[in-house]
Amino acid sequence: MLRSMYSGISGLKNFQTKLDVIGNNIANVNTYGFKKGRVIFKDLMSQTVAGASAPGDNLGGTNAKQIGLGASLAAIDTNHEKGSFQTTNRTLDIVINGDGYLSFTDGTNTSYTRAGNLYLDSAGTLVSPDGKKLLTEGGNTFPPIPSTATNLTIGQDGTVSYVENGTLVALDKIAVTRFSNPEGLTKTGGNYFAVSNNSGEPSASKTAGSDGNGTIESGFIEMSNVDLSEEFTEMIVAQRGFQANSRIITTSDEILQELVNLKR
């Protein structure tokens, strides 16, 4: 069988994966804190028809003759660049202006996210949209905010404060967690990331605005970092690449048909 046919098949598979990633990016263009994915290809092994030769007294050296056998996936990585900040003027909408992630717990596992749309449950606890509890810089869940509290504020250092009976009460500070390799974090769904074997351990310092951690800004929300114009361009490239590889398979099939017809 022709090598070109199998090379074309590998290209179809790769561009299908690229289209899958692009489709997911576009679907999450308005997802708070979403980080877009990217597909990177690499060539497969090459078949050496003739090796390279060194120059001699009478003849110069010659280069190797190699035929590539297709392409494969090198990586599907995640771009952790910040998305744009959207003004909401809602106190419990927060962004991290700089590096770091918010930490939430379900009582068993800790999850990390850049999506800062917080809520208060009926017990006065700061939670995520799916009920996971926000963690303080000490690694604990926030104490409940009393129903009689007014003028709730969140400072740039992450301090959550409120006024009760005319007295200003500082509840605790929101944790900001950094990783040595944030691209190594694993997406777990729901805008969350989890620690992986290659992300590194969470930073020891979790104070907003210190030791390289970003500051907390209240009244804003971080949007997806997906650029639609870039995704549409990549989609066109992937579509044309898919079509070209389909054409390679069709052409190889036509050549095989001609070989079969030689017997007639």
26-45 pLDDT tens trace: 999 999 999 999 999 998 88
Whole-number average pLDDT of the chain = 92
pLDDT of residue 110: 94
Q: Let me know if residue 16 belongs to a domain.
A: yes
- Among 116, 120, 113, 167, CA closest to 143: 120
Beta strand 192-194 pairing with 85-87: unpaired
Q: Cα separations (Å) of 87 from 31, 94, 97?
A: 15, 10, 13
Residue bearing tokens 């909408």 = 93
Do 218 and 89 lie in one domain? The reply is yes
State residue 1's pLDDT score.
Answer: 57
Q: Assess whether 128 and 168 both reside in one domain.
A: yes
Residues 187 and 257 in one domain: no
Same domain, 218 and 230: no
Looking at the predicted structure, is the pLDDT value of residue 207 above 70?
A: yes
Residue 48 — very low, low, confident or very high, per pLDDT cuts 50/70/90?
confident
| Mean pLDDT along residues 115-120 | 94
Please compute the mean of the pLDDT values over residues 104-123 and round it to a whole number: 94
Q: Binning pLDDT at 50, 70 and 90, where does residue 264 land?
A: low
Same domain for 116 and 137?
yes
Strand partners, 55: none
For residues 13 and 73, state if they share a domain: yes
Q: Is residue 128 part of a domain?
A: yes
Structure confidence by residue, pLDDT tens digits, 1-33: 578 888 889 999 999 999 999 999 999 999 999
Q: Which domain holds residue 213?
A: 85-222
Are residue 170 and residue 249 in the same domain, yes or no?
no
Average pLDDT over residues 180-205: 93
pTM beyond 0.85: yes
